[in-house]
Amino acid sequence: MGQSVKLCGWVYKARSSGKVAFITLRDGRGLCQCVLEKGDATATFFDEAKKVAQETSIEITGVAHADERAVGGVELREITEFRVVGTSSDYPITPKPHGVEFLMKHRHLWFRSQRQHTILNIRATIVDAIRRFFNDHGFLLIDTPIFAPAIGEGASTLFEVDYFGEQVYLAQTGQLYVEAACMAHDKVYCFGPTFRAEKSKTRRHLTEFWMVEPEMAFCGLGDVLELAEDFVCAIAQRVLTDHRADLESLGRETASLEKIAKPFVRLTYAEVVDILHGPEAMALLENDLQTKSERVKEIDGKIKELEETKASAKKAWQQEKAAQELQAAHEEQAELNEQIANIPAHMKLAADFQWGTDLGGSDETIISRLHERPVFVTHYPSDVKAFYMRVDRSNRKLVENFDLLAPEGYGEIIGGSMREEDHDILLERIKAHNLPVENFEWYLDLRRYGSVPHGGFGLGVERTVAWICGLKHIRETAAYPRMLGTMYP
């Protein structure tokens, strides 16, 4: 403070009166308001500075003054130097409202906006928290391949690649490879991009996402659950410590993240089936129907008011503000109407849920919303789960697996299991899934040479970011999200 500093950045906002120009500068880390007053010192550049457009890149030198009212708490005044580095005109993302499709097409520019910038910052912290957790807990990083000769999860979500005339796949998981590495190093993890040919357009599915997958030898299902619990608490704590103000700027209610503590809820699949059929689940959905319908009516009134304000507004900024609020109201209403339309179907899905099928997105949402803490759902029917999961010796219809459901309806963020360590049972499961045994000979080797009980899990980074940041859609959690119909830029 009180010293001359040079800032390099982009014009986030600019306005001027005849004698004063205000430029809000964005330097990649934060915002700073620069105030240029027409005078001798600014004679050579004042007129140019007055006209700079949004996203022009500039270098500017002046004296830093602490100012509580200024964005970022500092204002640059007494400007002595100003230089345009790169011009910009008609920047497409203006303060006016834009639809999501437009913004997604301009993703390469969109993430200059404050909200997107904050989300990607939090993502980077989550990625750092992930690496730190495993490095600090004695896990060795093993980088697994992206070209994979065989199925890792399920045949329906494979991307095929022509590998010099041979058909291979983009990795759905690094798990099988870290299983082998865990027999060499004990505790290991892989962390990288994984690919699923998900044909559904949902809020939770990407075709390319990052997954961290720890694997441990000589452990039981309880140990894997405890690891997942400690891990998720560490991530939530780290983001609360480093990004409280950022979370608030995103409108994320932090109280629910404070509640992320051990022990998490533990339910078996069978218990979940009973809950879905029970009165609590139905009451939750009935209550949703009522509160959402009331909110839609409330928004109707607000829309009428905003339309009147917009029509009678005298100043352009007043019209713009009303237009923005109108768009937000229409979006909220459209979303609520869609949710209301889905509720009867979700009620039916829950009431008719059959033992032996996999939990759907709406079922997970019900279970997670009935609890404040994350919920482990364990022991699914083996028929709906991957071939590698360990058969429960006390009930052979089940596997020793789990999904972790994040609270507030965010649904599954982790899938994990014990792995079948018995050679003959595993071979049987590979055959039952109609998988080509020859592709899995190396994997069966792990059961031929010193097999041990082992297990692990996979946490999806983007779903975790969506939950922690309180985002409605997964598309904002990646710099360049890949989804059905989204490939540009």
Note the residues at the interface with ligand 4AD (CB under 6 A).
153, 173, 175, 196, 198, 205-206, 209, 211, 213, 412-417, 456-460, 462-463
For ligand 4AD, which is the closer residue by CB, 168 or 224?
A: 224
* Least distance in angstroms from the C-beta of 73 to ligand 4AD: 37
Q: Which is nearer to ligand 4AD, 60 or 178 (CB)?
A: 178
Minimum distance, C-beta of residue 456 to ligand 4AD, in the bound complex (Å) = 5
CB of 416 to ligand 4AD, least distance (A): 4
Q: How are strands ordered across the β-sheet holding 160-163?
A: 147-148, 166-170, 160-163
- Per the CB < 8 A criterion, the answer to whether 377 and 359 are in contact is yes
C-beta nearest to ligand 4AD: residue = 415
Minimum CB distance to ligand 4AD smaller for 14 or for 366: 366
| Residue placing its CB nearer to ligand 4AD in the complex, 9 or 416 | 416
Q: How far is the CB of 75 from ligand 4AD (least distance, A)?
A: 42
**CB 412, min distance to ligand 4AD, A:** 5
Nearer to ligand 4AD, 212 or 285 (CB): 212
Closest approach, Cβ 306 to ligand 4AD, in A, equals 36
Taking residue 297's Cβ as centre, other Cβ atoms within 10 Å add up to: 9
Choice between 198 and 428, CB closer to ligand 4AD? 198
Asked, as a colleague might, if the bond just before 436 is cis with ω within 30 of 0, I would say no
Smaller CB separation from ligand 4AD, 125 or 173:
173
Min. distance of Cβ 360 from ligand 4AD in angstroms? 14
